[in-house]
Amino acid sequence: MKRKRVVVLGATGSIGDSTLKVAHDIPERMEIVGLAANSNAEKLAAAANITRPKAICLVDERKIDLLRTRLKYEPKIFAGQNGLREIARLEDVDMVLIAIVGTAGLHPALDAIESGKDLAVASKEILVMAGEVVTAAARKRGVKILPVDSEHNAIFQCLDGRASEVRRIILTASGGPFRETPANRLGDVTVEEALKHPTWNMGPKITIDSATLFNKGLEMIEAHWLFGVEMKRVEVVIHPQSIVHSMVEFADGSMLAQMSYSNMCFPIQYAVTWPDRVPNTLPPLDFSTLSKLEFFPPRYEDFPALNLARRAGETGGTLPAVMNAANEVAVAAFLNGRLRFPQIWLTVAQVMDRHRTVAHPDLDAILAADQWARAEATAAIGKK
């Protein structure tokens, strides 16, 4: 069995932490050969000092000196946006794991594909904004895109290569911290309340997306591209315990589900070791303490993100990129106290309504739509 040589982009974040734990847990199967972060020089140096990759990258060039002073060995150091693209093309690498929050991972993802590396994707934004471009590039170059997002990793496990026999893909959602909050109270929820996810410990952007259900909306579009399944076959069910990570219903009516505790090390490990399964130190499910698994339909009217995402995914073209960019701007404004919670989806809907969708866009058209949506959302928020 081969040891995978992995570059991790977004190494200082929540997924980055879990990826380093997996590498520590299965050293015979996984070797970290590159680590990249945006500006957290101390944390990047600390991680590098432990895992000793041959290359590291810090996008924020002002912190390179600080990074050097903290390193206890001499890896190759890349800096800036170009550095991120260079480390994605590093030689003698099997897989690039993209865990950069937002859209900054798109170019490095394409670089990794073009230079023949498999991609492990946590950054759902990449597939939402440029699913057609990224999956076509991977097909052309003959590389794999392996899902790290727990839901898509679950579907990947259930499908086991049989995408043509699928009747429905059912994404599970915890429902977030406001699953039971009455609609008339959503206007008063605070940033602190929104950041308290009931079952997962994640970075701030995805945690807010889980509270609005935009996270699940993004995942619907991600599933459509990853598995080549039409949007109308991708459904969502609320499952507060986050034990069933998603399900697939096949043509014969049989349904397969994947279960584990909510710990991102499970999907990260499977993305790295696929198609093999190898032992680890992760806790197995204990059914003597799991008293119930519940499933409910989502509250579509109170959480419009799901219908906005369905509309974006079904329309396709540049609309998913616009939804994603407007959401990023709105989430940042909510975190800064400049928007109320429901104004996140109101802003996104407003920007989507104003967009003139371009069908089958190339990368330039996608990036132009992304920029347009950011400017529109910023202007809309300024007026609120």
Among the candidate windows 5-13, 23-31, 65-73, 85-93, which touches ligand NDP by CB under 6 A?
5-13
Q: Which amino acid is at 35?
A: L
Residue 101 engages ligand NDP in binding (rule: CB under 6 A): yes
Contacting residue, 19, 38, 241, 324, with ligand NDP by CB under 6 A? 38
Helices (H), 244-286: 265-273
Q: How far apart are CA 288 and CA 241, in angstroms?
A: 15
Place of tokens 């349904």: 255
Q: Give min distance, CB of 213 to ligand NDP, in A.
A: 14
User: Which residue in 10, 131, 176, 217 binds ligand NDP (CB under 6 A)?
Assistant: 10
Least distance in Å: CB of 329 to ligand NDP? 15
Where does residue 246 fall: left (phi above 0), alpha (psi -120 to 50 degrees), or beta otherwise?
left
User: Which of 86, 111, 118, 125 is the binder for ligand NDP (CB under 6 A)?
Assistant: 125
Q: How far is the CB of 264 from ligand NDP (least distance, A)?
A: 5
Q: Among 48, 95, 113, 123, indicate the residue that binds ligand NDP (CB under 6 A).
A: 123
Nearest-CA neighbor of 172 among 125, 210, 130? 210
Find the part of the chain contacting ligand NDP (CB under 6 A) among 32-40, 128-136, 237-245, 347-355. 32-40
Contact between residue 248 and residue 180 where contact means Cβ atoms under 8 Å apart: no
In the list 23, 90, 104, 308, the residue contacting ligand NDP (rule: CB under 6 A) is 104
Would you say 128 or 369 has its CB closer to ligand NDP? 128
- Tell me if 99 contacts ligand NDP by CB under 6 A: yes
39 makes contact with ligand NDP (CB under 6 A): yes
Is 320 among the residues that bind ligand NDP (CB under 6 A)? no
Q: Is 174 in the site for ligand NDP (CB under 6 A)?
A: no
How far apart (Å, rounded) are the C-alpha atoms in residues 175 and 177? 7
Residues 6+ apart with CB under 8 A from 317: 357, 358, 359, 360, 361
Residues 6+ apart with CB under 8 A from 61: 79, 80
- 159 makes contact with ligand NDP (CB under 6 A): no
Question: If binding is defined by CB under 6 A, does position 261 make contact with ligand NDP?
Answer: no
Q: What is the DSSP letter of 296?
A: B
> SS3 for 273?
helix
Q: What string marks each residue from 263 to 302 as x (binds ligand NDP by CB under 6 A) or -?
A: -x--------------------------------------
Q: Which residues contact 379 (CB under 8 A, 6 or more apart)?
A: none
Q: Which of 4, 29, 124, 310 binds ligand NDP (CB under 6 A)?
A: 124
> Of 112 and 380, which CB lies nearer to ligand NDP in the complex structure?
112
Q: How far is the CB of 253 from ligand NDP (least distance, A)?
A: 30
Among 186, 194, 206, 247, binds ligand NDP (CB under 6 A): 206
Phi, psi of 236 (to 5 degrees): -130, 140
How many binding residues for ligand NDP (CB under 6 A)?
A: 28
At 160, the amino acid letter reads D
Per CB under 6 A, which of residues 54..93 are in contact with ligand NDP?
A: 59, 84
Backbone angles phi, psi at 205, to 5 degrees: -65, -50
Q: Is 116 left (phi over 0), alpha (psi -120 to 50) or beta?
A: left
Helix, strand or coil for residue 13? Answer: coil
From first CA to last CA, the distance across the chain in angstroms is: 57
Q: Out of 4, 5, 13, 95, point to the residue binding ligand NDP (CB under 6 A).
A: 13
Which residues are 121's β-sheet partners? 98, 147
Minimum separation from the CB atom of position 126 to ligand NDP (A)? 8
Q: Which positions lie near ligand NDP, rule CB under 6 A?
A: 10-16, 37-40, 59, 84, 99-102, 104, 122-125, 149, 200, 202-203, 206, 264
